[in-house]
Amino acid sequence: MNRPVKFIAALCLVSSCLCFCGCESSRSQVLAADESQVKLRSMQSRVFDTKDKIKTLRTAMATLQDLGFVIDKADDVLGSVSATKLDRYAVRITVNVRPHGETQMLVRANAQYNLKAIEDPEPYQQFFTAFEKAIFLTAHNIE
Amino acid sequence: MKKVRYSCFFLLMPLALVIEGCGGIPKDALSMNKATLEDRQLQTRVFDTSDEGKILSASASLLQDLGFNLDESETDLGLLVSSKDRDAMEAGQVIGAIAWTVMFGIAGDARYDCRQKIRASIVTSHAGENGERIAVRVTFQRIVWDQKNQISKLEKLNDPKMYQDFFEKLSKAVFLEAHGI
């Protein structure tokens, strides 16, 4: 093996080590979250002026279908809906609806994109923008 | 020189892997777009009945007619989730893989689709001014694996003909349900 090849092979090994030494044990992913709990909750949650849990859940399902998701599961007692979107990538989302005070419902969405949690506020903002429109449509029963 | 190029490839490969892992969520993944309304129309039909249970029951029967197994149902929310596992081999792909192997002799690189999981999810809702009609929206998607058990396709199924056929069959199923067949 001549010198440049040896040098490049060594560089290759070093770069591989650098790439992989950053990876912790994959078990640490179980309780991993990049953002603080408070920050996450605030970006993932919105409150709506309605007492109707079923209507809110049905609106969440309609919104998810509009966004190209296929609904996987729903539970009206827990107030949760899970859905998956496949479009060369996979996005999995869970929307939870629960009462917030006497007159409001709190809607929280959390999602993952392929193998990574979505912890950027922008996609959640987009989801709630779509949800707001849908809940308006449902309230006024317009198709 | 050839060896140097070969080494460069291995030098850049880990970097490429790291960069690939950094790809973020596409901008329009959680927002409505031009196709939203079109998709909604394609995937929805309204039935002149206010009996949501009857429509759900007819839908479940139709899914069974089509070979789907029910994975989940929540009648209070008007939801049915089903799936089926099927063969995904396509003659063209297999012939292509064989031709590739014959030409280059690298059997490992010639991939073809082998099996697929098709998922169908039906959501019903009250429609019309007083909720006197029932809207049914169905969505399909599939995951395809190649012969190496690697995922080769993750996609929604949006062929208009498929939805037309589905709703034609659903109309029949609603009729059969009404007549207790």
**Better-predicted residue by pLDDT, A3 or A45:** A45
pLDDT for A142 equals: 33
Look up the domain containing B142 and give its range: 39-178
Q: Is residue B125 within 8 Å of A65, Cβ to Cβ?
A: no
pLDDT for A130 equals: 93
Q: Has residue A12 been placed in a domain?
A: no
Cα atoms found within 13 Å of the Cα of residue A13, Cβ hemisphere only: 5
**Better-predicted residue by pLDDT, B115 or A34:** B115
Q: Write the CATH number for B78.
A: 3.30.530
* Closest residue to B77, CB basis, from A58, A68, A141: A58
Name the amino acid, one letter, at B88: A
Interface with A, mutate which of B8, B30, B68, B145 (most A CBs under 10 A) = B30
Chain A residue nearest residue B25, CA to CA: A113
Q: Has residue A54 been placed in a domain?
A: yes
Lowest-pLDDT choice from A130-134, B50-54, B98-102, B112-116:
B98-102
Interface with B, mutate which of A7, A12, A70, A141 (most B CBs under 10 A) = A70
Q: Has residue B10 been placed in a domain?
A: no
CA distance A38 to chain B (A): 22
**Better-predicted residue by pLDDT, A67 or A28:** A67
pLDDT for A38 equals: 85
Look up the domain containing A41 and give its range: 32-139
Q: Has residue A23 been placed in a domain?
A: no
pLDDT for A131 equals: 94
Reduced DSSP (H G I as helix, E B as strand, rest coil) percent helix, strand, coil of chain A, to 5: 45, 30, 25
Q: Has residue A84 been placed in a domain?
A: yes
User: Could you give the number of structural domains in chain A?
Assistant: 1
pLDDT for B94-114, tens place per residue?
888 778 777 777 655 788 899
pLDDT for A19 equals: 52
Q: Has residue A40 been placed in a domain?
A: yes
- Quick one: DSSP state of residue B30? T
Residue-averaged pLDDT of chain A? 83
Complex ipTM: 0.78
Confidence band for B1, pLDDT divided at 50, 70 and 90: low
Contact B24 A113 (CB under 8 A): yes
User: Could you give the number of structural domains in chain B?
Assistant: 1
CA distance A60 to A53: 10
Confidence band for A28, pLDDT divided at 50, 70 and 90: confident
Q: Has residue B20 been placed in a domain?
A: no
**Better-predicted residue by pLDDT, A30 or A10:** A30
How far, CA to CA in Å, does B107 sit from each of A125, A132, B93, B116, B147?
47, 52, 14, 22, 12
pLDDT for B89 equals: 86
Q: Has residue B19 been placed in a domain?
A: no
Q: Write the CATH number for A123.
A: 3.30.310.80
CA distance B145 to chain A (A): 13
Contact A8 B8 (CB under 8 A): yes
Spell out which residues of chain B touch residue A34, defining contact as CB-CB under 8 Å.
Answer: none
pLDDT for A143 equals: 34
Q: Has residue A8 been placed in a domain?
A: no
Q: Has residue A85 been placed in a domain?
A: yes
Beta bridge partners of B73: B80
Lowest-pLDDT choice from A13-22, B70-79, B170-179:
A13-22
